[in-house]
């Protein structure tokens, strides 16, 4: 009796053989590689990874299991996963289950036994592309035809029907009141804001400017999320209407939405940023930090519209990592601000909230 097999096909015809992993069935999406040593559960549940085949370059995945606390959203968001070696044995005092059981429960198909670093090298050399995972007796020519015919999910609206998050309540009396235009906000960002004493009102991506302002916020955070911001005309229009009426902070996809609202250009990257080790420099201070990033689009540096300046740049490829309006309280960053090694909130949020304290 032969063992079941699986295959990962990329749209240029490159194939990688392996074994079925996770839920049964096919998975198709934009192949992106994640370079972090840990964080597989966060990636799988992150709204920013919706519609992707997540390729984990670290060679052993699953060794610390999964738990409910590390989910970044109420559901699994990736289309599929690609790993090299799966650790069936997990050891972590916080673990409540095994990764493969988690994937099966959430209907996420995958493939294991793949040289994921070879996949990453191929994507680095040839650029981002679509992929499909299938197992069993498959017609690879038919799969490849389907893959090439199918419109990339990156061109679709991946935000409108995302599962909605629940706010994280701060301890004690709230010090700040924020509204969040939810383009795919992560649970860790909500927890970060709660640590800063923020009560938040989560509004869907289709919320109107009046609905956001009706919450009487100290500021509005535009946060998320997956896909191409250029198809989110409704969200961009809302952000544009809010500029000058309330302090704005964009994070991730929210950065790109604010950029479009301010008249900037956003383009698809040849190879996106998906990992935890991207160096970013803040131009005003000269300080640098290592950041978490999850995006396939970028704000173009040239030309910039009048009234917009670059605040942060990527030290690897010099791409734009942050902008601000010079005439209104509106700023954004492409990376996802994290707590520092001592657990202190990111200074970006402290500065944003500090400005409210002194209005």
Q: pLDDT, tens digit, for every residue of 75-110?
A: 999 999 999 999 999 999 999 999 999 999 999 999
* Nearest in space to 232 (alpha carbons), one of 332, 155, 151: 155
pLDDT at 339: 85
Rounded distance between C-alpha atoms, residue 18 and residue 238, angstroms: 46
- As a whole number, mean pLDDT of residues 238-259 equals 98
For the cut 80, the answer to whether the pLDDT of residue 153 exceeds it is no
DSSP 50-63: TTEEEEE-SSEE-T
pLDDT at 356: 40
Q: What is the value of pTM for the model shown?
A: 0.93
Residues in contact with 286: Cβ distance below 8 Å, sequence separation at least 6, in sequence order: none
- As a whole number, mean pLDDT of residues 262-283 equals 95
- As a whole number, mean pLDDT of residues 18-33 equals 95
Rounded distance between C-alpha atoms, residue 19 and residue 14, angstroms: 17
Per-residue pLDDT tens digits for 319-341:
999 999 999 999 999 999 988 87
pLDDT at 154: 61
Helix%, strand%, coil% for the chain, nearest 5? 25, 35, 40
The chain-wide mean pLDDT, for the chain, equals: 93
- As a whole number, mean pLDDT of residues 291-295 equals 94
* Nearest in space to 312 (alpha carbons), one of 303, 295, 327, 299: 299
Q: At 206, phi and psi to the nearest 5? A: -90, 5
Q: At 321, phi and psi to the nearest 5? A: -115, -10
pLDDT at 1: 33
- As a whole number, mean pLDDT of residues 210-229 equals 96
For the cut 80, the answer to whether the pLDDT of residue 293 exceeds it is yes
DSSP, collapsed to helix, strand or coil, labels residue 277 as strand
Inter-helix orientation angle 233-242/253-261, to 10°: 70
Rounded distance between C-alpha atoms, residue 255 and residue 261, angstroms: 10
For the cut 60, the answer to whether the pLDDT of residue 3 exceeds it is no
Rounded distance between C-alpha atoms, residue 347 and residue 39, angstroms: 23
Domains of the chain: 6-155 (3.50.30.20), 176-357 (3.40.50.880)
């Amino acid at each position: 009796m032969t063992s079941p097999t699986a295959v990962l096909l990329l749209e240029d015809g490159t194939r990688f053989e392996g074994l079925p992993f996770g839920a049964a069935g096919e998975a198709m999406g934009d192949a992106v590689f994640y370079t972090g040593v840990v964080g597989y559960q966060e990636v799988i549940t992150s709204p920013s990874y919706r519609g992707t085949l997540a390729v984990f370059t670290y060679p052993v995945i699953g060794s610390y299991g999964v738990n409910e606390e590390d989910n970044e959203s109420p559901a699994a968001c990736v289309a599929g996963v690609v790993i090299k070696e799966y650790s069936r044995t997990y050891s972590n005092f916080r673990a409540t289950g095994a990764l493969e059981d988690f994937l099966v429960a959430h209907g996420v198909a995958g493939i294991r036994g793949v040289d994921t670093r070879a996949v990453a090298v191929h994507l680095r050399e040839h650029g981002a592309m679509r992929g499909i995972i299938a197992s069993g007796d498959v017609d690879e020519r038919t799969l490849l035809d389907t893959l090439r015919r199918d419109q990339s999910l990156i061109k679709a609206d991946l935000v409108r029907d995302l599962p909605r998050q629940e706010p994280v309540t701060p301890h004690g009396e709230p010090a700040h009141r924020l509204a969040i235009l939810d383009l795919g906000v992560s649970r860790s960002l909500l927890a970060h804001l709660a640590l800063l004493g923020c009560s938040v009102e989560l509004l869907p991506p289709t919320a109107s400017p009046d609905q956001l302002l009706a919450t009487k916020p100290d500021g509005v955070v535009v946060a998320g999320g997956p896909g191409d911001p250029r198809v989110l005309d409704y969200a961009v229009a809302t952000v544009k209407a809010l500029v000058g009426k309330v302090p704005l902070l964009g994070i991730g996809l929210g950065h790109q939405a604010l950029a479009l609202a301010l008249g900037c250009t956003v383009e698809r990257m040849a190879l996106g940023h998906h990992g935890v080790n991207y160096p970013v420099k803040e131009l005003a201070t000269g300080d640098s930090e290592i950041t978490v990033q999850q995006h396939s689009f970028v704000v173009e540096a040239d030309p910039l519209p009048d009234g917009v300046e670059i605040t942060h740049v990527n030290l690897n490829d010099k791409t734009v990592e942050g902008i601000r309006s010079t005439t209104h309280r509106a700023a954004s960053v492409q990376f996802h601000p994290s707590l520092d090694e001592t657990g202190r909130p990111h200074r970006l949020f402290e500065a944003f909230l500090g400005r409210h304290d002194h209005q």
